Amino acid sequence: MATNDTNDMQRMQQDAIRRVREMQNRAQQSLTRSQQAAPTEPQKPEPEPQPQRHHDSSPAHGAPPALPLPQPSTLSNLFDGLLQDGERTLILVLLLILVSEKADTGLIFALMYLII
DSSP label at 50?
P
Q: pLDDT at residue 40 above 60?
A: no
Contact of 20 with 83, CB cutoff 8 Å: yes
Contacts of 30 by beta carbon, 8 Å cutoff, 6+ apart: none
- Give the burial string for 25-41 (b: 16+ CB within 10 Å, else e): eeeeeeeeeeeeeeeee
pTM: 0.33
Write out pLDDT tens, residues 59-100: 445 555 555 555 556 667 766 776 777 788 888 889 999 999
